[in-house]
Amino acid sequence: MQLSGKVALVTGAAQGLGKGCAEAILERGAKVALLDTNESAGQETAADFALKYGADRCTFILCDVTAKDQLEGAFQKVVDHFGGLDLVVNNAGILNEVQWEKCIDVNLVSVVRGCHLGLRYMGKQNGGNGGLIINMSSVAGLYAFPSPVYATTKAGVVGLTRSLGMDYKLGRDCVRVNALCPSFTTTAILADPEVPEDQYQHMKDMLERGGGLMQIPDVVKGLAKLLDEDDKNGAVLEVTVQGMKYHGDESGPWDRESGTHQPNLCIA
Ligand SMILES: NC(=O)c1ccc[n+]([C@@H]2O[C@H](COP(=O)([O-])OP(=O)(O)OC[C@H]3O[C@@H](n4cnc5c(N)ncnc54)[C@H](O)[C@@H]3O)[C@@H](O)[C@H]2O)c1
Ligand SMILES: CC[C@@H](O)/C=C/C=C\C[C@@H](O)/C=C/C=C/C=C\[C@@H](O)CCCC(=O)O
């Protein structure tokens, strides 16, 4: 996707992977709205980006993605402020197995809502110009993981992405929907583990066996791949220290015998 002059909305963008994704999008020439509950970090990030990329290209919107009205209001603010919307990165996430309903709300319910809003504002059948949605999942959504509710939310994001990314939907909306599945990356979510000791120790062990921690730029390379590969729709990209690979290209039972797959009808 060519991003010069386009408009992006990134949730959970005050810090961490969301901030890294937002900066990569700014570097490619787009305007970016940063949504987050962390007002001080969000304002600081927006001020930093304004200095580097221009005050007219970045704005912070205080938004709890789990509050339906706030998320809807934030999408409307972005369109009012920048005059359109072309790219949504549903990134905000937490890991909390004790407040597990909250974990589902932030990581899955809000991503469903973010996708619906993305389709509302970008979908051609609604008067939009088409666009791209990238959902932040995790390797925890692809493989067994010690924090089961977190893993469930991330697997849900994978299923949501694949199904919204069906080609017949693209033909109608011209909005591609893809997911990024990073492994352990140095951000605050790791530094402040909200998990029981046994799960934490198991994760540390998995991390070591998997080759160690990634850094934010490693994951941003995955985002860049999804931005560059305009033929990808419903794609699920694993990003680890071992490299990147797409998941789930196998045909379902309905296509298995013929081996056919409907081509994309429209490239946004
Ligand atoms: N760091 C990793 O190892 C890793 C690996 C795979 C996937 N992820 C996913 O990447 C995403 C970003 O996480 P991160 O690692 O950058 O962690 P992080 O804690 O640094 O960043 C998460 C951001 O989301 C914001 N946020 C949390 N709840 C919110 C809400 N209700 N509304 C709006 N914003 C909210 C936080 O304030 C924070 O700025 C998450 O979805 C996480 O599950 C992280
Ligand atoms: C692939 C996992 C990903 O989606 C999200 C994980 C989120 C939280 C996990 C966390 O509770 C456990 C972390 C385990 C860390 C293990 C090793 C630490 O030593 C790494 C410390 C990193 C740091 O201080 O920044």
Lowest mean pLDDT among 141-150, 165-174, 193-202: 193-202
Is the CB of residue 90 below 6 angstroms from any atom belonging to ligand 1? no
Average pLDDT, the chain: 95
Per-residue pLDDT, averaged over 129-136, amounts to 98
- The CA-atom distances, in angstroms, between 7 and each of 95, 118, 153, 257 are 29, 12, 27, 42
Q: Which domains does the chain have, with CATH numbers?
A: 7-247 (3.40.50.720)
pLDDT at residue 201, rounded to an integer: 94
Whether 150 sits among the annotated catalytic residues: the reply is yes
Per-residue pLDDT, averaged over 169-188, amounts to 97
Contact indicator for 121, 75 with CB cutoff of 8 Å: yes
Q: Is the pLDDT of residue 267 over 70?
A: no
Quick: pLDDT tens for 108-128. Answer: 999 999 999 999 999 999 999
Q: Is the pLDDT of residue 266 over 70?
A: no
For residue 89, which ligand has an atom nearest its CA? Answer: 1
* Residue partners of 182: CB distance under 8 A and separation at least 6: 17, 136, 138, 139, 214, 218, 219, 222, 239, 240
pLDDT above 70 covers a percentage of the chain that reads: 96
Contact indicator for 91, 140 with CB cutoff of 8 Å: no
Per-residue pLDDT, averaged over 149-156, amounts to 98
Catalytic-role residue among 53, 121, 150, 200? 150
